[in-house]
């Protein structure tokens, strides 16, 4: 389905500042407790890494970082692709009784996060599981809310939020696109 650019929501400097602010909010809310940041594949991974670097600058202690692939836990797996692309999951050892922050780029229906929770619970029993998202665009189908939100926007059903990160896409930007 072709997409047409509606507008640019964030430029590089604003995206970086938003991730830095989210990192500081997470530190403050967790009051110095050791954290595990888990980036949901794909764009949640570089976001988690960037926030961990910011946290390390602030506290001189870098949180543990991991990656979580949720594709096999999706409830729409057969609708998304004939052959799912399974990426690497790399969870730090012994996350039992730890404070875990799931990191993702866009919160929309809540189905990705539901799948992430299912996947994560296969690895242990965390003390807390928190959610940090760069963009919350509404339209929830499941009762899922983020603890940390970079920016909350209102979108139409025919719009798509595209987060671009240098590590994956060669640029930092967020665009709102329209399905045509």
Query: For the segment 53-104, what is each residue's pLDDT rounded down to a tens digit?
Result: 999 999 999 999 999 999 877 655 544 555 566 667 899 988 999 999 999 9
In a domain, 28, yes or no: yes
What total of structural domains would you count in the chain?
1
Q: What is the mean pLDDT of the chain?
A: 93
Query: How far, in Å, CA of 18 to CA of 176, rounded?
Result: 17
In a domain, 5, yes or no: no
In a domain, 123, yes or no: yes
pLDDT at 102: 98
- Where the chain has pLDDT below 50, the residues are 78-79
In a domain, 100, yes or no: yes
In a domain, 115, yes or no: yes
In a domain, 170, yes or no: no
Global pTM exceeds 0.75: yes
Q: What is the CATH number of the domain that holds 99?
A: 3.40.50.2020
3-state secondary structure of 164: strand
* Residue 17, token pair as written in the block: 């500042």
The DSSP symbol for 67 reads E
- Other beta carbons less than 10 A from residue 36's beta carbon: 22
Query: 103 lies in which domain range?
Result: 19-156
In a domain, 51, yes or no: yes
Query: How far, in Å, CA of 113 to CA of 6, rounded?
Result: 26
Query: How far, in Å, CA of 84 to CA of 78, rounded?
Result: 8
Query: How far, in Å, CA of 180 to CA of 177, rounded?
Result: 9
In a domain, 173, yes or no: no
pLDDT at 81: 55
For strand 99-107 and strand 64-68, is the pairing parallel, antiparallel, or unpaired?
unpaired
The residue length of the chain stands at 180
pLDDT at 71: 84
């Amino acid at each position: 389905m072709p997409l047409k650019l509606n507008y640019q929501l964030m430029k590089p400097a604003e995206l970086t500042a938003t991730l830095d602010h989210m990192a500081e909010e997470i530190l403050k809310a967790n009051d110095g407790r050791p954290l595990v940041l888990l980036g949901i594949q794909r764009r949640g991974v570089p976001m988690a890494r960037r926030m961990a670097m910011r946290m390390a600058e602030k506290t001189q202690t870098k949180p543990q970082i991991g990656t979580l692939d949720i594709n096999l836990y999706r409830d729409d797996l057969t609708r998304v692709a004939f052959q799912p692309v399974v990426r690497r999951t790399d969870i730090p050892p012994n996350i039992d009784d730890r404070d875990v922050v799931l990191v993702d780029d866009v919160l929309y229906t809540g189905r990705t996060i539901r799948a992430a929770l299912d996947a994560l619970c296969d690895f242990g029993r965390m003390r807390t599981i928190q959610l940090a998202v760069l963009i919350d665009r509404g339209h929830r189908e499941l009762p899922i809310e983020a603890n940390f939100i970079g920016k909350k926007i209102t979108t139409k059903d025919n719009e798509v939020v595209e987060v671009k990160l240098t590590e994956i896409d060669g640029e930092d930007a967020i665009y709102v696109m329209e399905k045509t």
